[in-house]
Structure 1
């Protein structure tokens, strides 16, 4: 009964709260939780509002010794909830802008006809390379993709530089024949 009399005003609740009185915190929580959730609902979804109110109340309890209120405790709680709601809204807007930017970039990429041409051409080149005899393909890839000289390739493959030259020339001839329909497209893109 004595505690109930002591908790009649918000100021007394907050005084006991700052001293670590758990009962005062429980009374404060039960008193304001529903109205703070309803207030938060004006700004954010119900679930987000509940989470924000719970965060504010937990923060209030964990930092109870540091509180000196320049405004009424009730006003403090509502202001804290509003500020956290606005912070959440701001974060969500930033996330949405990032998502929109990424989506727009992807849309532009896929709407660009060159994207599909390059994809198709890359696939055709890979298929043509796979059809080359292994010795031609190996020499060609070492030269064009690994940027090795004929001499470096020759020493790795234990063949002469002339053999490397011949294999690369033969690979180029076969690729020209295999990709003849795509050469105009390749030249247009480059």
Structure 2
């Protein structure tokens, strides 16, 4: 679902209900996307910062379908800036992560219709078939994080396991999916699955 031009037009006129409609629609999607690059709490802050920026610069907004890409490019840039400034080099392979960020940036240049492909039945069937191949506990962690939108701490409490173990399960699942999905489909999983 792409945002109608009328909502953007109303937003430019400082209509708060239009802003709230945009926020409700895009917040979970942007947060899910940001959470693939930074911690959940940081993702929340960065998305809120982006929406504050959108409100403050509402009169200069881009109209039409490109608004979708505008938001995702905005949160992508904020995540990359945060990552480069604060991330621990001990916690991940910097070279692999930089390659991953570059691939995401390239995907954002594509047509907005690609985002809607996430809802296709065949995509879900492929995803679920792949998830059957991973251990049950890892699969459960993935579902809680990406379908239920739970934070790592909440999952750790619910499943009675250390937060680090939850993070490890998520990392290994994403690594597995990256290996078995096309780049576009893998990116779709990361950017929008938890917003469904």
Which range, TM-score by smaller chain? 0.3 to 0.5
Q: Structure 2-normalised TM-score?
A: 0.41
Higher RCO structure (Cα 8 Å, ≥6 apart): 2
**Structure (1 or 2) with the greater helix fraction:** 1
Q: TM-score scaled to structure 1, two decimals?
A: 0.43
Instruction: Report the structure number with the largest CA radius of gyration.
Output: 1
